[in-house]
Structure formats: structure tokens, C-alpha cells
Chains A and B, each alone.
Chain A
Amino acid sequence: MPFIDFTDFFVYYFPFFILDFSIASSFCELEEVIGIFPELFLGLSIFFLFLHCLLISSSGEKNYPLMQSAIVNIASYMLFLTLVLACNFSFSLKSSLFNNTIILDMLSVYSKQYLLVVSIVLIFLVKPYLKYQQINSFEYLLLVLFSIFGLILLCSSNDLITAYLCIEIQSLAFYLLAAYKKNSAFSTEAGLKYFILGSFSSSMFLFGSSIVYGITGTTNFEDLKDLFFYIFDEGFMTINFHILHNISYTDVLNVGLSFIFISLLFKLALAPFHVWSPDVYESSLTSSTVFFAVLPKLSLFVFFIRFFQFNFTGILESWKFYFIFIALISIFVGSFVGLEIRKIKTLLAYSSVSHMGYVVLAFSAFSCESVQSMISYLLIYMFTNVCVWCIFLILKLKKNNFKKSNMDLSDFSSLNKSNLTLSVFFSIALFSLAGFPPLIGFYVKVKVFAIIVEETQYLAAVFAILCSVISTFYYIRIIKVLFFENNLAGNLYFPLTYFYSFIVAFCFFFLVFLFASPNLFYLSCYRMCF
């Protein structure tokens, strides 16, 4: 059969060709290639998966098979092998590769591992949803894999060019995931909205980094670290523009940094720039929304820490007010606007806005403790959100309109009558998201407040705590709908399969376990900030 030979050729000979190329080039040492082995493996195997799917699914001899469930298995296996490669790193403390554009330290390696674990769970999670929505084309999971590739490379990027390219890979894949369902007007609208705002913020990133390059003459973080280790005297270095008299370098640098900051705020959906996120979350496919909500936050924040805290230590102190301002605004918006919302996906979008606000609030202390608390908050946010979205994805109402999957609050009413265990799990996960005392969500939130109080930002701490109390209302309202709704006819749900109930139970017990002994988790978070 001709096409099998063709595949064999690509699968067996092509990787050797590429590896030969990268080793033979004198600028990439073998050690450097080993350093990016997880990314290299994931990227190459995405290509081969792409070729494989293209050849198999378009072959008439095999009667044009659908490959969705096969690809789910292959993709999760690929991610598992990437995880093994990411765990198997043997660098002593810190090493930067490819002329310092890629860095391997604890922060990048651990965040890569966490991202890969969560993405394996998510890929398994979206499988029944895709089957249900009849999304049969194989490109969907390829795009997911591309976005994961961009995200794990972003974790270790140590250069503005590399970071821009990684953000671009991730966001291009996400635009397509949002617009994937072409026959739905909502999905195309979400894709267009995401595309326009995302490319706008990317162009702001480019503009800001060009200003940074113009002032410092470098885009590399190692050089920026050396340049801005000390606090600059404002009048020390000035540029003489002809019209604008004597601006100091740091002023122009601040303009560039603020452009990059605003573009990152767009990407992270923080408060004044969050408007796209509820619309996009609500109208795109739920399987895409899971990825938008859970995955990109961690690696974008890793880049955020790397860029702002590690590089511009000297001039960051004057930025403290803006960080706290952004954090408080997003906490405020996330807690108050969420009170009005009745759709679950939009509600979770607003909740994510307020959570990202807490993370930025922790960042505004600029200390090692604050990085640790940011990372632990983000990881707990990811785990809890996996649990919540998991329950949200696998609950299917028995309705006439069987493709409808966007749920209101009322769709959960009296879930405890039909499935008590699931409703208990759901309410525990929501309590953890809200930050209720006997759960891990409480620990990490208290850490954030403690850091802010330690920084003597009492007003900000009081404001954030009050908003946190208010935001608890909408989490508890869901629980009230789950347990105490008096209606005559409850909803009927399709039964859960064994595998997905296992995933839900695992997520739930993981949250409970983290409450019981968070030491190992905290240890890994501490290791990440050095």
C-alpha cells in the first residue's frame, strides 16, 4: 500500500534528519538540545501526529475513519512521555541554553510538570464532550497540543522574542479553538472577538518590547538582569530628544514596560481589560473554555514573574501602586459583577478575574514569599478549577435539545436528589474556590493576605478581604441551588461512566488531601521561587 510506505518514510527517517541538523550546527551543543528535550519531543510528535492523521483520515481504502478517540489516547500518551522527559532533568541548579534565550530552573521545570499533568487530565475530560457535540475533525486536539507546546515553552523562555513567539503560538491556537464550531454564530463571534482583542494585545506587547530594546539594546533577560540590578538615579542618564527636553532613560523604559504590562493584563483577563473573557468563555465550546480557563494562567504568570521581578528589581518599587490598583480593581469587578450572573461559564470567568486579582496582589510585595504564594495560589486555582469544570463537563441534562451544553444555575437544581455524591463533591470544590476555612483554598488565600499585611498595605488587605467575603455569596448560591431548591420536577441527568467518576473523585480527594498535608505541595512551591 503506497501511503503506508510514505508514512514509514516520515516516521522513521525524518526525526533523524532534524536531530542531525540541530546537533551538527555548531551553535547548538548537544547539551542544549537535551535541555529542551520535552519541547523538542512534543513539537516533533505533533508534526508526526498531524501527518498520521492527515494520511489515515483521508484514505479511501480505510473508508475515511474518524480519529477523535484515537487521537485523545495518542495525545495524552505524548503528553505523558513529555512529562517523563520534563521530570528527567539533571541540571544542577540553573542553566540557560541557546544563547540565554531558554532557561532551565526550578520555576520553569516544575511549572512545566504541573501544566503537563493538568493538561493530560483535561484532554481525557473533553473526550466525551467532543463526541457529544459531534466534533469529528482531528484538528481540534492538534490545536490543543499546539497551545500546550506554546505554554510549556513560555515557561522556560528567557527572552522577549521567544516569549512573544510562544504567546503567539498559544493564542493563535486558542483563537481557532474558540471559533471551532463554524455553524454556531456564538462560536464564530467568540473567535472573532478573541482574535481581535488578542492580536491587539500582542501588538502592544511587540511595541513595548521594541521600546525596551531601543532603550537597553537587548531583549535578553540575562542582560536586563545585569542592567537593572541596581536602583537608578533618575537624573543619571538622560536622552536629549530635540522637542522633549531631557527625559531620563527610566521614564522611556517605563512606557515600554507599561505596554508589555497592559498586554499581559489582556492575556490574563485582569480587570480593566477583562471584558472579552466572559463573552468568549460563554460563547465558545465548553471543551475549549476549559483550556482557556485553566491552562494559560500559570505559564503567563511565570513569564510575568520572570520579566518583572527577576529583571527590573531596581525600578519595580515605583510600580507597586499600579500593581495593587490593578489587583484591587479586578478583585472588585470579579466579586461584584459575578453577583448578577446566572450562567455558570460567565460566573466562572468572573471568578477567575477575581482570582487573578489575588495573584497580582500577592505579586505586589516583590519578595520571594510573594512568588511562592503566587505559585501556590495559581496551582490551587488550577486544581480546583479542574474539579469544577470536570463536574460541569460530565453532567449532561436529559433534554430535547441534546446539543445544548451551556448551563444556567437552574440546571443544577436538586442535584442532590439524583446524585448526592456528585453534589457534595461539587460543593466542596466550590467552597475551596471561595476560600472556606477547612480547605486548601483558604490556606493559599490567607497567605496572600498575610503577605499584604506584612507589607503594611492594610487598606488594600481590608478591601480585598471584604470583596472576598462578597464573592463567597455567588459560590454559596450555587450550593443553595444544588441542595435547597424547592421545585416540583427535578432535572434528570445521563449516568456517569466509571472513568469520569474516577477523575472527579480523584480531584476531590486531592483537594481534601492537600488540606490534610500541604507540606509537600508548599515545598515544591518554595523550590520554584529560587
Chain B
Amino acid sequence: MLHYKIALFFSISLIFSSFFTILINNPIYSILFLILSFVSATGILILLESEFMAFIFIVIYIGAIAVLFLFVVMLLNIKIVDSIKDVLKYFPISNFIGFFILLEILIFFINYFKFNPYFESFLFNVHINWLDKIDSVSDIQSIGQIIYTYYVLQFLIAGFILLISILGAVILTLSYNKVNLKKQDSFKQTSR
């Protein structure tokens, strides 16, 4: 039952943080809530035993995209706007679209997921995959075993691609021109 409770905790945290991402006025707080929502989604994925997707969420969504958003918000100097006023204006259309998407998802769930009628009764039994319990290899471990053995060549080529991208970032940004170089002026920065 602890499993369900943790899943419930992460789901509630996911719902709340995604609500606050939309509702909060300050864009920086909004992005921090976005990161929180990604973290809680990662928690749910780990509970579902798909660790690879969970780590990809952490590395790509939080490590790359959310940080990129944060930099953009910090650099662009976006003003804090009162978005609550616009909520009423857009309420009908957004609710209309959202209602239909919810309906679609519900139809899908009703068609494909059958509720167990014996749940929490005397006849309820749980299927245990004993093979999985004895010799369990996690998601990441199996991916790693395949990558480092069967796909070693492809792994090395991927390393080449990373090297080229680093080389390219350096080539495109490094400037040998010493005249109009932008430098950090510490005095100006501290006295700001």
C-alpha cells in the first residue's frame, strides 16, 4: 500500500505544481514550479519501474530545457503581468477544449482498462512474476548491457557526434577579434 500512497503523493504534487505553473504571476516562480512538476513526474515514472525514462526526464527536461527557459526569462527581463485578469477572458474557450480532451481520454480508459471487480475483496489475488523477483535486471541495466556489448560501435559514433557538437559550439562562438570584445566589468557590476 505504501507504493500507492507514494504514487498518490507524486500525482497530487504534479497536479498542484502544474496548476501553479500556470497561475503564478512571477515567471521565475512559474518555471521553478515547472521543474517541480517534472520532478514529480519522474517520481511516478520510477514507481512504474521505467527508470530510463525517469532519468531522461531529469537530464533533458530539467537539465536542459527548464534551465534554458530560466536563462531566457532572466535575460529577457519579462515584466510581471497580472494573468488572473485574463483567466476569465479565456475561460470559456479553454474549458471547451479541455472538456473534449478529457472526454477523449475517459473514453479511451473505459474502453481499454477494465476495473477488477474483485478488488479489495476476498477473491482478490495478485500475480507475482517470480522470474522477475529472482533474476531482476532493471531497465537501465539492461539498456547499458546492450549498448556496451552489441552496439559498442554505435556508442563510439555517438561519442564522435558529441565531439563535433562541442567543436562546433567553440568554433561558432570563439572570437579572435580583440577590439569589440565584451568583458565583465566587476566594478560596474557591483555598483549596480
Contact = CB atoms under 8 A, between A and B. Distances in A.
B164 A101 contact: no
A173 B164 contact: yes
Contacts of B149: 25-27
Contacts, number: 63
B158 interface: yes
A25 B168 contact: no
A172 B161 contact: yes
A418 interface: no
Given A43-B160, A168-B161, A169-B164, A180 B153 contact: no
Nearest to B169: A176
B167 A143 contact: yes
Given A165-B157, A169-B164, A172-B165, A180 B152 contact: no
A28 B153 CA distance: 9
B171 interface: yes
B123 interface: no
B172 interface: yes
A176 B161 contact: no
A28 B157 CA distance: 15
A153 B150 contact: no
Contact of B151 (A22, A36, A161, A180): A161
Contacts of A180: 171
Given A137-B171, A176-B171, A179-B172, A143 B164 contact: yes
- Main SS of the interface on chain A? helix
Contacts of B168: 172, 175-176
A378 to B, nearest CB: 24
B175 interface: yes
Interface string A237-264: 0000010000000000000000000000
A169 B168 CA distance: 12
A98 B149 CA distance: 9
A166 interface: yes
Interface string B154-178: 1011101100110110111001000
A249 B113 CA distance: 26
B111 interface: yes
A385 to B, nearest CB: 25
B164 A146 contact: yes
Given A43-B160, A137-B171, A27 B152 contact: yes
B164 A162 contact: no
A438 B160 CA distance: 45
B152 A169 contact: no
Nearest to B111: A242
A310 B164 CA distance: 32
Given A146-B160, A165-B158, A169-B160, A102 B172 contact: no
Contacts of A101: 151, 153-154
A334 B80 CA distance: 54
Given A27-B152, A43-B160, A173-B164, 13 more contacts: A98-B152, A98-B153, A137-B171, A146-B164, A149-B160, A150-B160, A166-B157, A169-B160, A172-B168, A175-B168, A176-B171, A176-B172, A242-B111
18 contacts: A25-B152, A26-B149, A27-B152, A43-B156, A43-B160, A101-B151, A139-B167, A139-B170, A139-B171, A143-B164, A146-B160, A169-B161, A169-B164, A172-B164, A173-B164, A176-B164, A176-B172, A179-B172
